[in-house]
Amino acid sequence: MIQVEKAREIILSQVKPLPKERVAITEMLGRYIAEDIVSGIDIPPNNNSAMDGYAIKHEDITGKDTCLRVIYTLAAGNVPKSALGHGEAVRIMTGALIPQGADTVVKREDTVESAERVVIKKVPNRGENVRLAGEDVRKGEVVLEKGTRMGPAQIGILASIKRLAAYCAQKPLVAILATGDEVIDIDEELSTGKIISSNSYTLVSLVKEAGAIPVYLGISKDNKKDLEEKLYAASRSDLIITSGGVSMGDYDMVKDLMKSGGNRMEFWQVEMKPGKPLAFGEINGIPAIGLPGNPVSSMVSFYQFARPAILKMMGSRNLLLPRVNARLRTEIRKKPDRRHYLRGIMKREKDGFIVYTTGPQGSGILSSMSMANCFIVVPKDRTHLETGETVTCEVIDASW
């Protein structure tokens, strides 16, 4: 067995970022920028008002109840009619350009208004309520670094600097194959000794969630010929993910296939629970991750190894699950054999986070994953964690 970090290091060394392609701004959500985005303009391009109010010269304010003459009204999108003279004010709307000569905006609610006069009831600071040109973004500034994931705010930045498209790494094609004579698809009749291939659908969903394109190859029987024929359809994929066929049984064919012909296997078995029987290598020249067949083991292993590989292919700078410290509300006991990834429920409290397990932690109990929003990571050498102890958690669902 090898350690989790070493296994991940080997996998990531074998996968490379995919070539970049030009993507329209409307199709960029969830993609990863493959270039540094530099602004060609200042944002905002000119000084403008942050409030509805009155543009003034701050030096004209002699104190509370200063009275100024209103020379015109200026709406957003219009050009100032004239510069501001001493003793004058311009009634101004949010977003409107600051007239030449003005340096401060008094909020409308801090004044007493009449048609041609305004009395200032609350003295503002110099420069108050004025958005300066370039305050948000400066011309020539890198506004989005290569590897940034494009969310709504990042797309808004792109639009604000007039970029209709940008280069992003291609989405990887990820071939997914379930294996096992006992495994049937969801539309087949369930008979004695058979199980539904839930892995097929969780893995398709996990690949989509990571941002890649799943290519479902179906289910292979436990024989080399059927396995090879199914995997032939993966010849144009960027990554192969299988579930099952990597344990110690006589009919676990995936790891045997990795060791045959021109294929290769880099490692087999990882020092973790669940997920020990994991294999990584190359099949038909394509990186291949052989996940365990048990549903929980398959998902835990996907998050630790397949997800980082997919994110690297897409050019992401952040490959690992976010980590948060939380106080344990469940006593934990384990053997000092491997690192454990317990399914946990994390909640916010006033002074931080708490976490407790989802209940029974067997590798076949898929409901433990459906309830979880994190993994409680228990180091190999720890055998007893007490209630109240601080533990490291990897967040898999931040919707809470």
Least confident of 30-34, 46-50, 83-87, 230-234: 230-234
Looking at residue 302, its pLDDT comes to 98
Mean pLDDT of 137-146: 97
Stated as kind and residue range, the H or E segment containing 231 is: helix 224-232
Please write the tens of the pLDDT for every residue from 32-59: 999 999 999 999 999 999 999 999 999 9
Same domain, 159 and 187: no
In this structure, the answer to whether residues 30 and 161 fall within a common structural domain is yes
C-alpha 179/C-alpha 118 separation (Å) is 79
Residue 251 has pLDDT above 70, yes or no: no
Q: Return the pLDDT at 245.
A: 83
User: If you average pLDDT over residues 366-371, what whole number do you get?
Assistant: 96
Same domain, 91 and 157: no
**More confident call, 248 vs 304:** 304
Give me the pLDDT at residue 398, please: 86
Provide the 8-state DSSP code for 309. Answer: H
- Asked, for residue 32, whether it belongs to a domain, the answer is yes
Same domain? For 90 and 219 the reply is: no
Per-chain mean pLDDT for the chain: 95
Q: For residue 352, name the pLDDT band (cuts at 50, 70, 90).
A: very high
Question: What is the extent of the structural domain holding 249?
Answer: 4-17+171-313
Percent of the chain with pLDDT over 90: 91
Whether 195 and 290 map to the same domain: the answer is: yes
Where does the pLDDT of residue 171 fall: very low under 50, low under 70, confident under 90, or very high at 90 and above? very high
Query: Which DSSP state fits 58?
Result: G
Across 247-267, average pLDDT: 84
For residues 186 and 149, state if they share a domain: no
Regarding whether 269 and 160 lie in a shared domain, the answer is no
Same-domain status, 271 and 359: no
- Whole-angstrom CA distances from 153 to 23, 156, 163, 230, 315 are 17, 5, 14, 42, 19
Confidence of residue 176 (pLDDT cuts 50, 70, 90): very high
Share of the chain above pLDDT 70, in %: 99
Residue 137 lies in a domain: no
* Each residue's pLDDT tens digit, 1-10: 999 999 999 9
Q: Residue range 325-334: average pLDDT?
A: 96
Query: What is the mean predicted confidence (pLDDT) over 18-26?
Result: 98
Q: Is residue 271 part of a domain?
A: yes
Return the structure tokens found at 392.
């490291």
pLDDT > 90? residue 369: yes
Residue 318 lies in a domain: no
Q: Is the pLDDT of residue 30 over 90?
A: yes
- Based on the fold, state whether residues 65 and 206 are members of the same structural domain: no
In this prediction, residues 264-282 reach a mean pLDDT of 96
Is residue 136, in this structure, part of any structural domain at all? no
Pairing mode of beta strands 130-131, 48-49: antiparallel
Asked whether residue 267 falls in the same domain as residue 278, the answer is yes
Over residues 114-132, the mean pLDDT reads 96
Centre a 10 Å sphere on the Cβ of residue 204 and count the other Cβ atoms it contains.
Answer: 16
Does residue 274 have a cis peptide bond before it, meaning omega lies within 30 degrees of 0? yes
Which residue(s) pair with 113 in the sheet? Answer: 118
Across the range 376-392, mean pLDDT stands at: 97
Number of structural domains in the chain:
4
**pLDDT at 249 (0 to 100):** 65
pLDDT at residue 264 above 70?
Answer: yes
**Helix, strand, coil distribution of the chain in percent, nearest 5:** 20, 35, 45
d(Cα 71, Cα 352) in Å, to the nearest integer?
55
Residue 250 has a pLDDT of 55
Query: Across residues 115-144, what is the average pLDDT?
Result: 96
Q: What is the CATH number of the domain that holds 274?
A: 3.40.980.10
Residues 341 and 283 in one domain: no
Strand partners, 265: 281
Q: Are residues 277 and 200 in the same domain?
A: yes
